[in-house]
Amino acid sequence: MRRALRSLLLLGALAALSGWAIAWFAGATAERAERNRAAAEARILRELAGVAATESLPSSSGDVLYCDDSVAILRDAARGYGGQLRLAVAFAADGSVSGVRVLEHAETPGFADILAPDSPWLASFGDGRVDAVTGATVTSEAVLRAVQGAITRYDGALPCPTVGETQ
Amino acid sequence: MNRFFQAAVARNPAAVQLLGLCPLLAVSNTLANAAGLAVASATVLVGSALIVSLIRRLIPDEVRLPCFVLVIATWTTLVNLAMEAYAFDLYQRIALFVQIIVTNCMILARVEQVAAKEPFCTTLADALGTAAGFAAAILVLGGVREAIAVGFPLAALPPGAFMIAGLLLAGANFVRRGRTPAERGRNQTPVISQDVPVARR
Protein backbone atom coordinates (compact mmCIF):
# COMPACT_ATOMS: atom_id res chain seq x y z
CA MET A 1 0.00 0.00 0.00
CA ARG A 2 2.76 2.39 0.99
CA ARG A 3 4.72 1.46 -2.12
CA ALA A 4 1.68 1.98 -4.32
CA LEU A 5 1.08 5.38 -2.76
CA ARG A 6 4.72 6.33 -3.26
CA SER A 7 4.61 5.31 -6.93
CA LEU A 8 1.41 7.25 -7.40
CA LEU A 9 2.78 10.36 -5.74
CA LEU A 10 6.05 10.35 -7.65
CA LEU A 11 4.43 9.71 -11.00
CA GLY A 12 1.82 12.39 -10.27
CA ALA A 13 4.42 14.93 -9.19
CA LEU A 14 6.56 14.20 -12.25
CA ALA A 15 3.54 14.52 -14.54
CA ALA A 16 2.50 17.80 -12.93
CA LEU A 17 6.02 19.18 -13.23
CA SER A 18 6.27 18.08 -16.87
CA GLY A 19 2.89 19.58 -17.67
CA TRP A 20 3.86 22.86 -16.05
CA ALA A 21 7.19 23.01 -17.90
CA ILE A 22 5.55 22.34 -21.26
CA ALA A 23 2.68 24.78 -20.67
CA TRP A 24 5.09 27.50 -19.58
CA PHE A 25 7.43 26.97 -22.54
CA ALA A 26 4.57 26.75 -25.02
CA GLY A 27 3.25 30.06 -23.70
CA ALA A 28 6.67 31.66 -23.90
CA THR A 29 7.27 30.60 -27.51
CA ALA A 30 3.72 30.84 -28.88
CA GLU A 31 4.08 34.38 -30.16
CA ARG A 32 7.31 33.64 -32.04
CA ALA A 33 5.89 30.46 -33.53
CA GLU A 34 2.80 32.29 -34.70
CA ARG A 35 4.94 35.02 -36.28
CA ASN A 36 7.02 32.35 -38.07
CA ARG A 37 3.86 30.72 -39.42
CA ALA A 38 2.48 34.04 -40.65
CA ALA A 39 5.80 34.93 -42.29
CA ALA A 40 5.96 31.56 -44.05
CA GLU A 41 2.40 32.01 -45.28
CA ALA A 42 3.13 35.54 -46.51
CA ARG A 43 6.19 34.22 -48.39
CA ILE A 44 3.99 31.67 -50.20
CA LEU A 45 1.44 34.36 -51.10
CA ARG A 46 4.20 36.62 -52.45
CA GLU A 47 5.52 33.83 -54.63
CA LEU A 48 2.05 32.97 -55.92
CA ALA A 49 1.11 36.59 -56.58
CA GLY A 50 4.51 37.58 -57.94
CA VAL A 51 4.83 40.40 -55.42
CA ALA A 52 8.29 41.54 -54.38
CA ALA A 53 9.31 41.02 -50.77
CA THR A 54 9.66 44.76 -50.24
CA GLU A 55 6.01 45.46 -51.04
CA SER A 56 3.54 44.91 -48.27
CA LEU A 57 0.63 42.56 -48.80
CA PRO A 58 -2.91 43.89 -48.41
CA SER A 59 -4.65 42.36 -45.45
CA SER A 60 -6.73 39.34 -46.40
CA SER A 61 -10.47 39.28 -45.93
CA GLY A 62 -12.30 36.01 -45.44
CA ASP A 63 -11.33 33.36 -47.98
CA VAL A 64 -9.57 35.83 -50.27
CA LEU A 65 -5.93 35.92 -49.23
CA TYR A 66 -4.77 38.31 -51.91
CA CYS A 67 -6.27 40.20 -54.81
CA ASP A 68 -5.06 42.55 -57.54
CA ASP A 69 -5.63 43.17 -61.27
CA SER A 70 -3.98 40.00 -62.51
CA VAL A 71 -4.32 37.47 -59.73
CA ALA A 72 -6.67 36.44 -56.93
CA ILE A 73 -5.64 33.96 -54.27
CA LEU A 74 -8.28 32.02 -52.37
CA ARG A 75 -7.79 29.78 -49.41
CA ASP A 76 -9.50 26.44 -49.00
CA ALA A 77 -9.13 23.35 -46.86
CA ALA A 78 -9.93 19.65 -47.05
CA ARG A 79 -9.43 16.64 -44.83
CA GLY A 80 -6.29 14.80 -45.83
CA TYR A 81 -4.87 11.53 -44.53
CA GLY A 82 -3.25 12.97 -41.42
CA GLY A 83 -5.53 15.93 -40.75
CA GLN A 84 -6.53 19.27 -42.13
CA LEU A 85 -4.90 20.28 -45.40
CA ARG A 86 -4.91 24.05 -46.06
CA LEU A 87 -4.25 25.38 -49.55
CA ALA A 88 -3.77 28.68 -51.32
CA VAL A 89 -5.17 28.60 -54.86
CA ALA A 90 -4.20 31.37 -57.27
CA PHE A 91 -6.46 32.38 -60.16
CA ALA A 92 -5.34 34.31 -63.23
CA ALA A 93 -7.41 37.18 -64.60
CA ASP A 94 -9.34 34.84 -66.95
CA GLY A 95 -10.43 32.74 -63.98
CA SER A 96 -8.14 29.79 -64.65
CA VAL A 97 -6.08 28.22 -61.89
CA SER A 98 -2.55 29.57 -62.13
CA GLY A 99 -0.96 28.04 -59.06
CA VAL A 100 -1.59 25.88 -56.01
CA ARG A 101 0.48 25.89 -52.83
CA VAL A 102 0.07 24.10 -49.53
CA LEU A 103 -0.10 26.33 -46.45
CA GLU A 104 -0.38 23.61 -43.84
CA HIS A 105 -0.65 19.84 -43.81
CA ALA A 106 -0.16 16.83 -41.57
CA GLU A 107 0.40 14.16 -44.22
CA THR A 108 2.86 11.30 -43.78
CA PRO A 109 6.43 12.30 -44.68
CA GLY A 110 7.42 10.81 -48.01
CA PHE A 111 3.83 10.82 -49.21
CA ALA A 112 3.82 14.55 -48.50
CA ASP A 113 6.60 15.11 -51.06
CA ILE A 114 3.93 15.85 -53.68
CA LEU A 115 2.92 18.86 -51.54
CA ALA A 116 6.39 20.47 -51.55
CA PRO A 117 6.72 23.99 -53.03
CA ASP A 118 8.75 22.70 -56.00
CA SER A 119 6.56 19.65 -56.59
CA PRO A 120 5.85 19.02 -60.29
CA TRP A 121 2.52 17.54 -59.28
CA LEU A 122 1.29 20.80 -57.72
CA ALA A 123 2.60 22.66 -60.78
CA SER A 124 0.41 20.43 -63.00
CA PHE A 125 -2.69 22.20 -61.63
CA GLY A 126 -1.67 25.17 -63.76
CA ASP A 127 -1.93 23.02 -66.93
CA GLY A 128 -5.51 22.07 -66.23
CA ARG A 129 -4.74 18.33 -66.37
CA VAL A 130 -4.05 16.61 -63.06
CA ASP A 131 -3.31 12.93 -62.40
CA ALA A 132 -3.84 11.50 -58.92
CA VAL A 133 -0.65 10.14 -57.37
CA THR A 134 -0.28 6.38 -56.84
CA GLY A 135 0.19 5.55 -53.17
CA ALA A 136 -0.98 8.96 -52.05
CA THR A 137 -4.61 8.66 -53.15
CA VAL A 138 -6.13 10.25 -50.06
CA THR A 139 -3.68 13.15 -50.12
CA SER A 140 -4.08 13.87 -53.82
CA GLU A 141 -7.87 13.60 -53.63
CA ALA A 142 -7.92 16.01 -50.70
CA VAL A 143 -5.92 18.55 -52.70
CA LEU A 144 -8.23 18.07 -55.69
CA ARG A 145 -11.28 18.58 -53.46
CA ALA A 146 -9.86 21.74 -51.94
CA VAL A 147 -8.92 23.19 -55.33
CA GLN A 148 -12.35 22.28 -56.70
CA GLY A 149 -13.94 24.01 -53.73
CA ALA A 150 -11.91 27.16 -54.37
CA ILE A 151 -12.91 27.10 -58.04
CA THR A 152 -16.60 26.76 -57.13
CA ARG A 153 -16.45 29.67 -54.75
CA TYR A 154 -14.46 31.80 -57.16
CA ASP A 155 -17.09 31.24 -59.87
CA GLY A 156 -19.98 31.80 -57.53
CA ALA A 157 -19.06 34.75 -55.38
CA LEU A 158 -16.52 36.59 -57.54
CA PRO A 159 -14.42 37.45 -54.50
CA CYS A 160 -12.32 40.11 -56.19
CA PRO A 161 -14.31 42.65 -58.22
CA THR A 162 -11.42 43.63 -60.47
CA VAL A 163 -10.67 40.01 -61.34
CA GLY A 164 -14.26 38.88 -61.50
CA GLU A 165 -15.21 41.12 -64.43
CA THR A 166 -13.61 38.83 -66.98
CA GLN A 167 -15.85 35.95 -65.94
CA MET B 1 36.42 10.78 -20.70
CA ASN B 2 36.87 7.06 -21.12
CA ARG B 3 33.15 6.65 -20.68
CA PHE B 4 32.49 9.27 -23.36
CA PHE B 5 34.57 7.48 -26.00
CA GLN B 6 33.23 4.10 -25.01
CA ALA B 7 29.68 5.39 -25.59
CA ALA B 8 30.55 7.26 -28.79
CA VAL B 9 32.80 4.73 -30.52
CA ALA B 10 32.82 1.21 -29.06
CA ARG B 11 29.10 1.36 -28.32
CA ASN B 12 28.11 3.75 -31.11
CA PRO B 13 24.29 3.70 -31.07
CA ALA B 14 23.92 3.62 -34.84
CA ALA B 15 26.94 1.72 -36.12
CA VAL B 16 27.30 -0.89 -33.36
CA GLN B 17 23.98 -1.19 -31.55
CA LEU B 18 21.85 -0.38 -34.61
CA LEU B 19 19.48 1.74 -32.52
CA GLY B 20 17.58 4.81 -33.67
CA LEU B 21 17.76 3.80 -37.33
CA CYS B 22 14.35 5.22 -38.32
CA PRO B 23 15.32 8.90 -37.95
CA LEU B 24 18.86 8.07 -39.06
CA LEU B 25 17.62 6.85 -42.44
CA ALA B 26 14.69 9.24 -42.86
CA VAL B 27 16.30 12.56 -42.01
CA SER B 28 19.80 12.05 -43.43
CA ASN B 29 18.87 13.26 -46.94
CA THR B 30 20.76 16.52 -46.44
CA LEU B 31 23.49 17.63 -44.08
CA ALA B 32 21.35 20.47 -42.67
CA ASN B 33 18.45 18.15 -41.79
CA ALA B 34 20.87 15.65 -40.30
CA ALA B 35 22.48 18.35 -38.14
CA GLY B 36 19.04 19.51 -36.96
CA LEU B 37 18.00 16.06 -35.90
CA ALA B 38 21.38 15.40 -34.28
CA VAL B 39 21.04 18.52 -32.11
CA ALA B 40 17.41 17.72 -31.23
CA SER B 41 18.22 14.11 -30.31
CA ALA B 42 21.26 15.17 -28.28
CA THR B 43 19.20 17.68 -26.29
CA VAL B 44 16.52 15.13 -25.48
CA LEU B 45 19.05 12.43 -24.64
CA VAL B 46 21.30 14.52 -22.40
CA GLY B 47 18.40 16.36 -20.74
CA SER B 48 16.45 13.18 -19.99
CA ALA B 49 19.50 11.29 -18.77
CA LEU B 50 20.47 14.08 -16.38
CA ILE B 51 16.96 14.46 -14.91
CA VAL B 52 16.58 10.72 -14.45
CA SER B 53 20.04 10.49 -12.90
CA LEU B 54 19.13 13.23 -10.42
CA ILE B 55 15.86 11.62 -9.31
CA ARG B 56 16.92 7.98 -9.72
CA ARG B 57 16.78 7.20 -6.00
CA LEU B 58 13.21 8.52 -5.75
CA ILE B 59 11.80 6.41 -8.57
CA PRO B 60 10.13 3.18 -7.41
CA ASP B 61 11.21 0.24 -9.56
CA GLU B 62 7.67 -0.63 -10.71
CA VAL B 63 6.93 2.74 -12.26
CA ARG B 64 10.38 3.47 -13.62
CA LEU B 65 9.41 3.03 -17.28
CA PRO B 66 6.42 5.43 -17.10
CA CYS B 67 8.69 7.92 -15.35
CA PHE B 68 11.43 7.61 -18.00
CA VAL B 69 8.93 7.94 -20.85
CA LEU B 70 7.36 10.97 -19.18
CA VAL B 71 10.73 12.71 -18.85
CA ILE B 72 11.71 11.86 -22.44
CA ALA B 73 8.32 12.98 -23.78
CA THR B 74 8.60 16.28 -21.91
CA TRP B 75 12.03 17.00 -23.37
CA THR B 76 10.86 16.02 -26.85
CA THR B 77 7.90 18.40 -26.63
CA LEU B 78 10.12 21.23 -25.38
CA VAL B 79 12.62 20.72 -28.22
CA ASN B 80 9.77 20.61 -30.72
CA LEU B 81 8.34 23.89 -29.38
CA ALA B 82 11.78 25.49 -29.41
CA MET B 83 12.29 24.51 -33.04
CA GLU B 84 8.91 25.91 -34.01
CA ALA B 85 9.87 29.25 -32.46
CA TYR B 86 13.56 29.52 -33.35
CA ALA B 87 14.22 27.29 -36.39
CA PHE B 88 10.98 27.34 -38.34
CA ASP B 89 12.41 26.25 -41.72
CA LEU B 90 13.94 23.19 -40.13
CA TYR B 91 10.76 22.62 -38.15
CA GLN B 92 8.71 22.49 -41.35
CA ARG B 93 11.07 19.92 -42.84
CA ILE B 94 11.76 17.52 -39.97
CA ALA B 95 9.14 18.24 -37.27
CA LEU B 96 7.59 14.78 -37.45
CA PHE B 97 10.93 13.09 -36.90
CA VAL B 98 11.65 15.35 -33.96
CA GLN B 99 8.31 14.37 -32.45
CA ILE B 100 9.10 10.65 -32.73
CA ILE B 101 12.38 11.07 -30.85
CA VAL B 102 10.11 10.15 -27.94
CA THR B 103 10.03 6.56 -29.19
CA ASN B 104 13.74 6.40 -29.97
CA CYS B 105 14.97 3.25 -28.25
CA MET B 106 18.52 4.62 -28.19
CA ILE B 107 17.42 7.21 -25.64
CA LEU B 108 15.30 4.88 -23.51
CA ALA B 109 18.15 2.36 -23.50
CA ARG B 110 20.69 4.90 -22.20
CA VAL B 111 18.24 6.13 -19.55
CA GLU B 112 17.36 2.62 -18.38
CA GLN B 113 20.87 1.17 -18.49
CA VAL B 114 22.94 4.13 -17.31
CA ALA B 115 21.04 7.15 -16.01
CA ALA B 116 18.85 5.06 -13.69
CA LYS B 117 21.87 3.42 -12.07
CA GLU B 118 24.91 5.67 -12.32
CA PRO B 119 25.82 8.98 -10.67
CA PHE B 120 25.44 12.34 -12.40
CA CYS B 121 28.92 12.66 -13.95
CA THR B 122 29.04 9.15 -15.39
CA THR B 123 25.58 9.68 -16.84
CA LEU B 124 26.61 13.00 -18.36
CA ALA B 125 29.68 11.48 -20.01
CA ASP B 126 27.71 8.52 -21.31
CA ALA B 127 24.84 10.65 -22.64
CA LEU B 128 27.20 13.11 -24.33
CA GLY B 129 29.15 10.23 -25.85
CA THR B 130 26.03 8.51 -27.15
CA ALA B 131 24.74 11.81 -28.57
CA ALA B 132 28.09 12.46 -30.24
CA GLY B 133 28.12 8.95 -31.67
CA PHE B 134 24.64 9.35 -33.11
CA ALA B 135 25.48 12.82 -34.45
CA ALA B 136 28.63 11.48 -36.13
CA ALA B 137 26.68 8.64 -37.77
CA ILE B 138 23.82 10.80 -39.05
CA LEU B 139 26.17 13.59 -40.22
CA VAL B 140 28.37 11.16 -42.16
CA LEU B 141 25.30 9.55 -43.73
CA GLY B 142 23.75 12.96 -44.47
CA GLY B 143 26.97 14.33 -45.94
CA VAL B 144 27.58 11.28 -48.12
CA ARG B 145 23.97 11.19 -49.34
CA GLU B 146 23.88 14.90 -50.17
CA ALA B 147 27.24 14.69 -51.97
CA ILE B 148 26.37 11.57 -53.99
CA ALA B 149 22.85 12.81 -54.81
CA VAL B 150 24.34 15.36 -57.22
CA GLY B 151 25.22 12.64 -59.75
CA PHE B 152 23.14 9.78 -58.32
CA PRO B 153 19.66 11.07 -57.38
CA LEU B 154 18.63 7.77 -55.79
CA ALA B 155 20.93 8.62 -52.86
CA ALA B 156 18.52 11.30 -51.68
CA LEU B 157 15.56 8.88 -51.73
CA PRO B 158 14.69 6.26 -49.08
CA PRO B 159 16.14 3.25 -51.01
CA GLY B 160 19.40 5.14 -51.34
CA ALA B 161 19.42 5.67 -47.57
CA PHE B 162 19.30 1.91 -46.96
CA MET B 163 22.03 1.17 -49.51
CA ILE B 164 24.43 3.84 -48.30
CA ALA B 165 23.77 3.11 -44.63
CA GLY B 166 24.44 -0.58 -45.34
CA LEU B 167 27.71 0.18 -47.08
CA LEU B 168 28.80 2.53 -44.30
CA LEU B 169 27.92 -0.09 -41.66
CA ALA B 170 29.88 -2.71 -43.58
CA GLY B 171 32.83 -0.32 -43.69
CA ALA B 172 32.54 0.39 -39.97
CA ASN B 173 32.43 -3.34 -39.18
CA PHE B 174 35.41 -3.97 -41.43
CA VAL B 175 37.48 -1.41 -39.57
CA ARG B 176 36.23 -2.35 -36.12
CA ARG B 177 36.50 -6.11 -36.33
CA GLY B 178 39.35 -6.72 -38.73
CA ARG B 179 39.06 -8.70 -41.89
CA THR B 180 39.78 -12.33 -40.94
CA PRO B 181 37.64 -14.41 -38.56
CA ALA B 182 40.64 -14.78 -36.22
CA GLU B 183 41.15 -11.03 -35.99
CA ARG B 184 37.44 -10.57 -35.61
CA GLY B 185 37.44 -12.81 -32.54
CA ARG B 186 40.27 -10.85 -30.96
CA ASN B 187 38.75 -7.44 -31.56
CA GLN B 188 35.22 -8.38 -30.61
CA THR B 189 33.90 -5.77 -28.21
CA PRO B 190 32.09 -7.41 -25.32
CA VAL B 191 29.40 -4.75 -25.07
CA ILE B 192 27.40 -5.87 -28.12
CA SER B 193 24.16 -7.25 -26.85
CA GLN B 194 22.27 -8.40 -29.93
CA ASP B 195 25.10 -9.80 -31.99
CA VAL B 196 24.37 -12.52 -34.49
CA PRO B 197 26.67 -15.34 -33.24
CA VAL B 198 24.76 -15.55 -29.97
CA ALA B 199 21.58 -16.37 -31.81
CA ARG B 200 23.29 -18.88 -34.07
CA ARG B 201 24.85 -20.92 -31.29
- Confirm or reject contact between A7 and chain B (CB < 8 A): yes
Q: Is the pLDDT score of B105 beyond 70?
A: yes
Using an 8 Å CB-CB cutoff, list chain A residues near B88: 33, 36-37, 39-40
What is chain A written as a DSSP string?
-HHHHHHHHHHHHHHHHHHHHHHHHHHHHHHHHHHHHHHHHHHHHHHHHT--TTSPPPPPBTTEEEE-SSEEEEEEEEE-SSSEEEEEEEEETTS-EEEEEEEE--PPTTGGGGGSTT-HHHHGGGGT--PPPTT-HHHHHHHHHHHHHHHHHHHHH-SSHHHHTT-
> Minimal Cα distance from B90: which residue of A?
A36
Q: Please report which confidence band the pLDDT of residue B199 belongs to, taking 50, 70 and 90 as the band edges.
A: very low
* Cβ contact A25–B78 (<8 Å): yes
Q: Which residues pair with A86 in a beta bridge?
A: A77, A104
Among A64-73, A133-142, B54-63, B177-186, whose mean pLDDT is lowest?
B177-186
Q: What is the pLDDT of residues B121-155, one digit of tens each?
A: 999 999 999 999 999 999 999 999 989 888 888 88
Strand partners, A77: A86
Q: Which contacts (CB < 8 Å, 24+ apart) does range B177-180 have?
A: none
For A98, phi and psi rounded to 5 degrees? -110, -15
pLDDT higher at A94 or B181? A94
Of B63, B86, B97, the CB nearest to A11: B63
Full-model pTM:
0.79
Cβ of B63 within 8 Å of Cβ of A36? The answer is no
The pLDDT tens digits of the residues spanning A39-76 come to 888 888 888 887 766 666 666 666 777 777 778 888 88
